[in-house]
Structure 1
Amino acid sequence: MTSTAAAALPDVDAVFAALAPLLPLGAEQLLANDTVAHARSTFADFLALLEAGRVRAASPVATIGMAGWAVDARVKQAILMGFRLGQIVAMGDDALPFVDKDTYPVRRFGSGDRVRVVPGGSSVRRGAHVAAAVTIMPPAYVNVGAFVDEGTMVDSHALVGSCAQVGKRVHLSAAAQVGGVLEPVGALPVIVEDDVLV
């Protein structure tokens, strides 16, 4: 990501402050005329932070000489809110139509992202962080909240589930399933650390 793109990202604290009163709302309340525009705008800012890797469902932490991981329940709560906020709509194109929540369309990459998504049926959902030098072979799937770090290979028929955390230079072999853990929100997701062959 360029420094210009990073500078354009919303402030993390401001986004979570704006999300806080929205998180407990049900679908009917989120979709009310006086709430829906603010909720969708705030949610779009949240997705931008997820995709940039500025927020994540779990992060490595060092505690008293030991390495570990900490869950950020706010991230999972906001992802779940996105499902309540979304409407089921037809998406895609004539070649690959699908029906899903409009808050979680397929993510698009440009050459500046330095991510290879080889043609043949792979999908990365909005809200997934995919770092530079990642290769995704067809068909593979990366779900919302997943964090896939630099230099990782997501091979054919592999799945990176919701909120799963995959480190640098990992090779997810053909048909590997890295399950995600979205609920309960306090639960640690599946984590594959750096330099692992799965």
Structure 2
Amino acid sequence: MSWLDLLNDLEQGKVRAATQDANGQWHANVEVKQGILEAFRHGVNTEYPGGFVDKDNLAPRGFASEQGVRMVPGGSSVRRGAYVASGTIIMSPAYINIGAYVDSGTMVDSHALVGSCAQIGKNVHLSVAVQVGGVLEPVGASPVVVEDGAFIGAGCVLVEGVVVKKNAVLAPGVRLSASIPVFDCVNERMLDKGEAIPENAIVIPGSRPVSSEWGQAQGLSMSCALIVKYRDEQSDASLLLEEVLR
């Protein structure tokens, strides 16, 4: 497949930069990521209206009303090679990068970033200033995944291949990466490195003391994340207001 055909297939959702196996594990699609890098190599820097410069073959996408995507005016951009499903709402300004997949019913709020190859499921809410990191290289590295129904609170940062499972809720300011530990206070365990945020988990920012004697003497602490409960009827009710905005 040529890089041009690949970009077209990505935009139509026919291929994805990551896929889920029968056990629910996500894996990078190496051939797709290699094709995206090939598109970069073939592109030539060119000027666009408004003083922008980018590869001539990766121009921002536009949408027609029949596509069912609502992107409000004011500076948002969806790059070539990104899939945005019907029913998606993109507030301004927001950015969706090449290779990303954003499924139906999802809201991408103001100042939110969906990085290259990130995978966002159905009916997800990415709140104001959420940063979903992207990854093109190394090609075998899995991107960040947010599964169906998850609610990502304002200012959250998700990087380094973090996976958030279905219907999980991240409170504002939660930061997740490969090196930030996550403690499940309900089941009294620490998630294994690389383990996904479980379905229906409600996660808040936390901290834990530095273990060294010097660090303890200085009163230092390090960032972590805490699962404080799992979703119930009361927590679901608090998230219903956003349906009015759709």
Once residues 175 and 110 of structure 1 are traced to their aligned partners in structure 2, the CA distance between those partners, rounded to angstroms, is: 26
| Counterpart contact for 2:112–2:129, Cα < 8 Å | yes
| Counterpart contact for 2:4–2:39, Cα < 8 Å | no
| TM-score (ref. length: structure 1) | 0.75
Once residues 110 and 43 of structure 1 are traced to their aligned partners in structure 2, the CA distance between those partners, rounded to angstroms, is: 24
| TM-score (ref. length: structure 2) | 0.60
Name segments (4+ residues, structure 1) moved above 6 Å: none
Q: Please give the root-mean-square deviation of Cα atoms over the aligned residues, in Å.
A: 0.9
| Counterpart contact for 2:120–2:145, Cα < 8 Å | yes
Residue 9 of structure 2 corresponds to which residue in structure 1?
Answer: 49
**Alpha-carbon shift at residue 97 of structure 1 (Å):** 3.0
Instruction: Classify the secondary structure of the residue corresponding to 2:27.
Output: strand
Where does 1:1-198 land on structure 2 (aligned, <5 Å)? Answer: 15=1, 42-62=2-22, 66-91=23-48, 93=49, 96-198=50-152
Once residues 117 and 61 of structure 2 are traced to their aligned partners in structure 1, the CA distance between those partners, rounded to angstroms, is: 16
Instruction: Classify the secondary structure of the residue corresponding to 1:67.
Output: coil
Q: Which has the higher strand share?
A: 2
- 5+ residue gaps, structure 1, are 1-14, 16-41
| Alignment: residue pair count | 152
Aligned sequence identity (%)? 59
Which of structures 1 and 2 has the larger relative contact order (alpha carbons within 8 angstroms, sep 6+)? 1
Q: 2:64 is matched by which residue type in structure 1?
A: G
Once residues 50 and 112 of structure 1 are traced to their aligned partners in structure 2, the CA distance between those partners, rounded to angstroms, is: 19
Instruction: Classify the secondary structure of the residue corresponding to 2:25.
Output: strand
| Counterpart contact for 2:94–2:109, Cα < 8 Å | yes
Cα distance per residue 1:150-172 (max 9 Å; x no partner): 10000000000000000000000
Instruction: Classify the secondary structure of the residue corresponding to 1:100.
Output: strand
Q: 1:88 is matched by which residue type in structure 2?
A: N
- 5+ residue gaps, structure 2, are 153-246
